[in-house]
Amino acid sequence: MLHPQRTRSSLSVHSTTHMEQLRRTASLPMDTDVSHLSRVLIVDDHSLFRRVVREVLDEHPQLCVVGEAANGAKALALVAELQPDLVVLDMELPDMNGVAVTQQLVRNHPSVKVVILSFATSDALIVDAIRAGAYGYLSKDIQPEALARALLGVAEGEVAISRRTAARVMAHFRQSNTGSAEPLSNLTDRELEVLRLLANGATDRQVADRLVIAESTAKKHVQHILRKLRARNRAEAVAKFHDVRD
């Protein structure tokens, strides 16, 4: 579980400048592939929790915390300034909720991947976040190592959502009559193959390897699937797939 704890006195918890990025990159081990370094922005109104998440992520050379924000407005400004790859976002912020922040980030910075990290776990909030474009929804009681693994997976194209949460999301879609979505019959045979692999947790690279196609082709198939199913992201597409199949 992520808990605030005593930290190293040298840890800076407020730096959000580009100098921090340069210092962190310069201190990486020589064998670290900087091209695969994922830059992370932490958004939470509790400074102690931000500090704990920073310490957890700083243990992984492929993750680099480039900034912190205590509210939605600051988060939007820092994303525009720092251009992070991942945003770890609390659902309950002083000025706006995580769904509203996610919607604006997805609209203005489509390359940024948002992962909600929150104690707020109502089905409606989770579904709203996924529909807004979040790549995952994790509870704050997640183990530190599991959080880092989840973010690394998102950076590779996976979704960060527990099986229990996925089941709840699918149940919510069923109760909300998801029959309005485009049927799976609109998908080509190859797109159905790709969707089945996504439903089993495959990344774009794994889909490409399994189907012996280029990774860029796999990504195009995913884009076509999302469009045909009218899904905002992979998590929603997989939920609709299960909803039709079950």
Q: Which two tokens stand for residue 134?
A: 């979040």
Query: Is the pLDDT confidence value at 206 over 50?
Result: yes
Residue 114 makes CB contacts below 8 A (sequence gap 6+) with 86, 87, 89, 101, 102, 105, 106, 133, 134, 135
Q: Band of the pLDDT at 174, cuts 50, 70, 90?
A: low
Buried b / exposed e over 118-135, threshold 16 CB at 10 Å, is bebbeeebbbbbbbbbbb
Residue 3: predicted pLDDT: 58
Of residues 178 and 80, the one with the higher pLDDT is 80
Locate the domains of the chain by residue range.
18-161, 180-245
Of 25-34, 51-60, 155-164, 167-176, the poorest mean pLDDT is in: 25-34
* Confidence at 243, pLDDT banded by 50, 70, 90: low
In this prediction, residue 162 has a pLDDT band, given cuts at 50, 70 and 90, of confident
- Asked whether this chain's domains 18-161 and 180-245 adopt the same fold, the reply is no
Q: What pLDDT is attached to residue 84?
A: 97
Q: Copy the structure tokens of residue 148.
A: 């880092």
The pLDDT of residue 227 is 86
d(CA 189, CA 204): 17
Beta strands 38-43; 63-69: pairing state: parallel
Fold of 180-245: Arc Repressor Mutant, subunit A (1.10.10)
Give the separation between CA 186 and CA 33, rounded to whole angstroms: 40
Instruction: Tell me the per-residue pLDDT of 85-125, one tens digit each, with 9 for 90 and over.
Output: 999 999 999 999 999 999 999 999 989 999 999 998 788 88
CATH fold for the domain made of 18-161: Rossmann fold (3.40.50)
The winner for highest mean pLDDT among 24-28, 200-204, 240-244 is 200-204
Q: Which of 45-49, 190-194, 225-229 has the lowest mean pLDDT?
A: 225-229
Q: What is the pLDDT of residue 246?
A: 52
Over pLDDT 70: what percentage of the chain?
79
**pLDDT confidence tier of residue 235, bands split at 50, 70 and 90:** confident
Give residue 186's pLDDT band: very low, low, confident or very high (50, 70, 90).
confident
CB neighbour class for 151 (10 Å; exposed up to 12, middle 13-18, buried from 19): buried
Q: For the range 95-101, what are the long-range contacts, defined as Cβ-Cβ under 8 Å and sequence gap of 24 or more?
A: 95/71, 96/71, 96/72, 97/72, 97/125, 98/125, 98/129, 98/134, 99/125, 99/128, 99/129, 99/132, 100/72, 101/43, 101/72, 101/75, 101/76
CA distances 73 to 55, 57, 161, Å, are 24, 23, 26
Let me know: does 199 contact 229? Beta carbons within 8 Å. no
Give tens-digit pLDDT for 17-63. Answer: 333 443 444 344 444 454 579 999 999 999 999 999 999 999 999 99
